[in-house]
Amino acid sequence: MNVKTASLTDLTDAQLTSLVLSMGEPEYRVKQLRNQIYRGLAFSFEEMTDLPLALRQALEKVTPLHSLKATHQVVGQDGTIKTLFTLVDGNTVESALMGYPQASGRQRNTVCISTQAGCAIGCPFCATGQQGFKRNLTRGEIIDQVLYFANYLKNQNHTAQEITDKTASTLSNIVFMGMGEPMSNYDALWPAIETLNSPDGFRMGARNITISTSGLVPQIKRLSSEKLQVGLAVSLHAADNALRDKLVPINRKYPLEELIPACKEYYRATGRRVSFEYVLFKGINDSLPRARALAQLLRGLACHVNLIPANNTGDRTYQPPSPQTILAFERELKLNHINATLRQPRGQDIDAGCGQLRSRFVSETGSRKKTLNKV
């Protein structure tokens, strides 16, 4: 990595220290700089007022502070915020901020982060999968999505605190469920997580971080041995190989006979139950026999199933079932002693499903429509 072209959030601790020392500054400036980035949530060198002006000017000449720029943003009726980011090479990725009101009067805020521009897995129902794969994101590009929304909440809360004590909370959870397969970008993802968790970084608790995967078995095993016990979510969608081969093509390489034992190994190593995401498609995987097969597959594994009605990506093949069918599926799982929760998709009115905003941006740019809000 070229330190002079990488963003500050892309740099390792050693690289950041080397850069600061090369400018003739004492080493304690590194801690001040990290504090401004990850705790102060500075988005310009001008905001770093506890650093000498000469250092700020020198840094601005050689390296950008952040690695991406928010260019378009939409807000849903349920409060979900979807933001499209442009990367330095012109590629675009998207992230979402979702708020969940709590009984305490505060709000749990979860940010959904992308790890790749596009995706190579090729799930036929996924808007990102239909876009193809462009490239992996860097650690800085992953981190900067989190910092953007943390900064957004900080600014919102400052205004709210002047009005009421029942303010929204700060960012409380990070889920890597956006564009791309996180486990395919493990070498950038894990350093980003370490920085987001670090006492010298963003300080997000490991148990408030979840990685979603379509089922990359070697990486699940690798995750089981990490010191930080982050959560694991597996996009399952079918309980037999024949159907899962179609819905989640990576299953042809890592079939259920390998995936489920890897999930059990994760639980034994970490003590954390596995979440399984099961998107329900009308007439495809939503029948009661399918529910019973799912219960049989997961029996004996400490897990929780999140049932999610399909998002409409324009493909008539993959439509959501009726509410009655969805409730019957959930009921059947519970009758078979499987913990399950029905989760309504967030931000449906703004195409908040993975990859949908990017698809809409590309389409509307080509047709010169102007329904997206610039940031």
Which residues are the active-site residues? 94, 354
Q: Is the separation of the CB atoms in 294 and 307 below 8 Å? A: no
Q: Is the separation of the CB atoms in 173 and 210 below 8 Å? A: yes
163 contacts: CB under 8 Å, gap ≥ 6: none
Q: Is 17 exposed, middle or buried (0-12, 13-18, 19+ CB in 10 A)?
A: middle
d(CA 147, CA 27): 24
Q: Is the separation of the CB atoms in 339 and 299 below 8 Å? A: no
Tokens read off for 322: 């009726």
- Strands 171-176 and 209-213, by their bridges, are parallel
Q: Is the separation of the CB atoms in 146 and 177 below 8 Å? A: no
Q: Give how far Cα 293 sits from Cα of 102, 284, 336, Å.
A: 35, 14, 10
Per-residue DSSP letter, 240: S
What are the φ/ψ torsions at residue 39 (nearest 5 degrees)?
-110, -45
Helix (H), strand (E) counts: the chain: 11, 13
Tokens read off for 85: 């980011």
Q: Is the separation of the CB atoms in 277 and 310 below 8 Å? A: no
Tokens read off for 60: 């601005």
Helix, strand, coil % in the chain, rounded to nearest 5: 40, 20, 40
In 245-294, which ranges are E strands? 274-280
Buried b (16+ CB within 10 A) or exposed e, 47-77: ebeebeeebbebbeeebbbbbbebebbbebe
